[in-house]
Chains A and B, each alone.
Chain A
Amino acid sequence: MRRRTRPIEPFLWLLFSAGGVLAALFLPVVLLLFGVAYPLGGIGPPTYQSLHALAAHALTRVVIFSVCVLSLFHWAHRFRFTLLHGLQIGRLDRVVSMFCYDGALVGSLAALVVLMRL
């Protein structure tokens, strides 16, 4: 598998690691609450007012934005190599990279818009 050494590569690894940490710390509890616990009806979900107040707080927005952006770049980096190695398509690195990192960029912009509109 031939890859050009690009100066941006170490930075991508940094985003991958930071995103891995934040995803591991924050995402399981979010998915446990809103994806499993509340839908199954064991406990009642928070009221609209209280959840809006919590989400719209400046500190919460900064934390959520960091978690989203870094987790998305974690996905991009890991998914890129999963595709390249898992399907043995190293020659398509350019296309795969573009799909992954541009996808993460689009997701980050979406996160920005969603958080600004709260």
Chain B
Amino acid sequence: MTATRPRAYRQAVPRLWWLRRRSYLLFMLRELSCVFVAWAVLFLLLLLKAVGNGHVDYQRFLEWAAKPWVIAVNVVALAFLVFHAVTWFNLAPKAMVIRVPKQMLAVAPKAIVRRLPEGRVPGWLIVAQNYIAWVCVSAIVAGLVMWSGS
């Protein structure tokens, strides 16, 4: 008899476990959003490559981007990017705990301190800051792109 080391029991997980529940499927879709993040980077690099090549290639890129299938891919990709952004921003307070320094808690008005759970910056405030940053970045990028020429 060959002595084998005992192995821990591992319950078999069905390969397509994430099709079994809506919440699992949403989780999987959220994880798959990364594919469209990669696509967006690729698309951006193709645009910049065309811009680097000159006027003619830029026009060619614009024509390529206007093909129905490319637009369709980009519409789906945009939906996934927004899904990624919303889930990412909403999860931020769980991943990031910001404590207010003790010295500040000591001098802050009682009415404010009472609203800070365990001396932390409340989660909704972190989420709100994320959305404000999103709006600002989007506005700056869109502004630069649209009015850089005029």
Residue ranges of A at the interface with B (Cβ–Cβ < 8 Å)? 17, 19-21, 23-36, 38-41, 43, 45-55, 64, 67-68, 71-72, 74-75, 78-79, 81-82, 86-88, 107, 110-111, 114-115, 117-118
Asked if A48 contacts B58 (CB within 8 A), the reply is: yes
Q: How far is the CA of A32 from the CA of B34 in the complex (A)?
A: 17
Task: Determine chain B's interface SS by DSSP, over half rule.
Answer: helix
Distance A85 CA – B34 CA, assembled complex (angstroms): 15
With A45-B62, A78-B31, A115-B48 in contact, is A27–B40 under 8 Å at CB? yes
Which of B17, B41, B82, B89 is A71 in contact with, Cβ under 8 Å?
Answer: B41
Query: Once the chains bind, are A31 and B43 in contact (CB under 8 Å)?
Result: yes
Closest A residue by C-beta to B140:
A29
Within 8 A of A (CB), among B11-69: 13, 15, 17-18, 28, 31-32, 34-35, 37-38, 40-45, 47-49, 51-52, 54-55, 58-59, 62, 65-66
A53 to chain B, nearest CB (A): 7
The distance in angstroms between the C-alpha atoms of A54 and B141, with both chains bound, is 11
Which residue of chain B has the shortest Cβ distance to A25 in the bound complex? B137
**Is B37 within 8 A of A27, CB to CB?**
yes
Please state if B144 and A29 are interface contacts (CB–CB under 8 Å): no
Among B40, B133, B150, which residue has its beta carbon within 8 angstroms of that of A25?
Answer: B133
Q: Complex formed: what's the CA distance from A78 to B88 in Å?
A: 13
Q: Are B142 and A64 in contact (CB under 8 A)?
A: no
CB atoms of A46 and B146 under 8 A apart: yes
CB-defined contacts of B84 to chain A, threshold 8 Å: 20, 23-24
Kindly state the separation between the CA atoms of A22 and B34 in the bound complex, as whole angstroms.
Answer: 13
CB of A23 within 8 A of CB of B138, answer no
Distance of A95 Cα from B71 Cα, bound (Å):
33
Check B49 against A114 for contact (C-beta < 8 Å): yes
Alpha-carbon gap, A73 to B34, bound state (A)? 10
Q: Return the chain B residue nearest A117 by Cβ.
A: B52
Of all chain A residues, the one with the shortest Cβ separation from B15 is A88
22 contacts between A and B (CB under 8 A): A20-B84, A25-B133, A28-B82, A30-B44, A31-B77, A33-B146, A34-B44, A34-B65, A35-B40, A48-B55, A51-B145, A51-B148, A53-B148, A71-B38, A72-B38, A78-B31, A81-B31, A107-B38, A111-B45, A114-B49, A115-B48, A117-B52
